[in-house]
Amino acid sequence: MTDTATARSLLLVDDDLPLLQRLAAAMEKRGFQVNTADSVAAGLTAAKSAPPDYAVVDLRLADGSGLDVVAALRQARPAMRIVMLTGYGNIATAVAAVKAGAVDYLPKPADADAIENALLARGDALPPPPENPMSADRVRREHIQRVYEQCERNVSETARRLRMHRRTLQRILNKHVPRG
């Protein structure tokens, strides 16, 4: 256990409760004093009542966007280091996260080591490349799946937006998700 005077306070905001509990335990082992929130509302309350030194916030929460929590945290404590986590990563959301005040943006699943490194990184140096990056096939599949979900699972509209034949898209969607 770490002395509370030297503990680094950390707020974790995620609506995936098993992930939230595992990450909280892992970060406590690394010397953080962890507080958790499972919604935008709980995250906003924590931001106002006891702004932490660090925060890790999921982008999509059941009751709204984690970007709202990031903005409130940044306003409550301008020097806070905030990392955005998401299973729906893309350039637009990464830019939005940084504009809202996040210092880094990590795709799920992110391990506790990667999160700790992002939280404690200083300066403008780029972080080291990931040990196990997603394969190009997996990145492609996730992009297609994200556009499909944004088109409300309409195959024809998704195919039009991705500029591919509808049957080709259907074959891709019916395949198993690639590993890596």
Confidence band of 128 (pLDDT split at 50, 70, 90)? low
Average pLDDT over residues 26-37: 94
Cα 125 from chain centroid (whole Å): 21
DSSP codes, 138-154: HHHHHHHHHHHHHTTT-
In the prediction, which pLDDT does 179 show?
55
**18-47: string of b/e by CB count within 10 Å (b at 16+)?**
ebbeebbebbeebebbbbbbbbbebbbebb
Using one digit for the tens of pLDDT, what is the confidence trace for 142-173?
788 888 888 998 999 999 999 999 999 999 88
Q: What are phi and psi of 58, to 5 degrees?
A: -75, 145
Using one digit for the tens of pLDDT, what is the confidence trace for 56-70?
999 888 898 899 999
Would you say domain 8-120 falls under CATH 3.30.470.30?
Answer: no
Question: Residue 144's CB: how many other CB atoms inside 10 A?
Answer: 17
Q: What are the strands, taking DSSP E only, across 4-147? A: 8-13, 32-37, 54-58, 60-61, 64-65, 81-86, 104-107
Instruction: From residue 172, give the alpha-carbon distance in Å to each of 9, 36, 146, 156, 166.
Output: 44, 38, 13, 13, 10
Which region, left, alpha or beta, applies to residue 7 given φ > 0 means left and ψ of -120 to 50 means alpha?
beta
Token couple for 11? 């707020």
What is the CATH number assigned to the segment(s) 136-174? 1.10.10
Domain boundaries, the chain: 8-120, 136-174
